[in-house]
Amino acid sequence: MISLFHLIQQYALPFVVVISIVVFVHEFGHYWIARRCGVRVLIFSIGFGQEIFGWDDKHGTRWKVSWLPLGGYVKMFGDADPASSPNEAVHKMTAKEKKVAFYHQNVGKRMAIVVAGPAFNYLFAILILSFLFMFQGQPYSPSDVGSIIENSAAAKAGIKPGDHIVAVDGSTMERFEDIKRVIILNEGTPVAIDLERDGKPLHLTLTPDVVSITDHFGGTHKGGRLGIGSDKLEYKQWPPLQAVEHAVIETRNLTASTLRAVGQMIIGTRGADELGGVLRIAQMSGKVANDGLVSLIWFMGMISINLGLINLFPVPLLDGGHLAFYAIERLKGKPLSPQAQEIGARVGMILVVSLMVFATWNDLVYLKVISYIRGFFS
């Protein structure tokens, strides 16, 4: 039987490290821009709930670590809660207090403070990937076909070993990894393949097979497959400027792939059971930590991108919801009514909590906890 100490060491500790660092980066973005805008920050918290330890800085900010490591928040002067809802005193503030209150900043400053959290997550991910691409190298296998799976879509279309794939649906494929990234999200729809064979261009149209794929973490999900393989696994180390360039491209591609996958879940062409929550992130953290420091750093970058992206969704309570309210305020020339903002906050709370419950249920099923519990009653 696995001991509690082993579970903490294997999964909980890597999870807390990854989440705490990524959340710190996100909240520091809010904090840093708020300070640049002259806003007073009351609390900078990593985690929720009761404080474990903390300290006050010379600017009057309480920096603390709280016992529930599932997020964090920055509370600014005039906020009633960590979601930056204004308190009742904002309308009775003196001119001096208004100058340092978030609520009384112009809409441009408020938007800058809000967007800074996701922006810092993206900058952090680009920084991580840049260093990895400089010192570890980027997976950069040539887009040459090394092998063909028998009776696969590629075999039926006439693709042969030695073919060099140039583009998929008009998008240039510089790496074999790019081909895999594009095809795996295919839902069994035809794609145009441009390739070179013996130096001569060739154009093919084929429909990838939709197969069950087992990922690195042992999970299974459906994805597109051409049925080709590469016999060259290479890592290319880039000089600093090129490393940053490729990190930006990788970040953009990961964001686009995530958005496409979410879109497929929404319209029902991709199973929503792939949506994971805290438990699955903890399991993944433990596995990548076991693979080594480089894998853990890479995973941290991926989590940072996803945290930044999710927070930009226009859902009240998330940064994207605040940005949507501020955009409306800029267009109207005045804020939405308190009633409208209250309704939005409640709807946002319902959506966020529902998503968390759904993702946790998926985690319990994925980790076979539900099957284990059922075994006691069957």
193 strand-pairing partners: 168, 204
Q: Which helix (H) or strand (E) holds 195?
A: strand 191-197
Active-site residue (options: 27, 177, 250, 274): 27
Locus of tokens 């309308």: 91
The answer to whether 187 is a known catalytic residue is no
CA 340, CA 14: separation in Å to the nearest integer?
41
| End-to-end Cα spacing for the chain | 22
Q: Is 44 in contact with 66 (CB distance < 8 Å)?
A: no
Other beta carbons less than 10 A from residue 40's beta carbon: 17
CA 342, CA 195: separation in Å to the nearest integer?
56
CA 116, CA 27: separation in Å to the nearest integer?
9
CA 236, CA 172: separation in Å to the nearest integer?
19
Active site members: 27
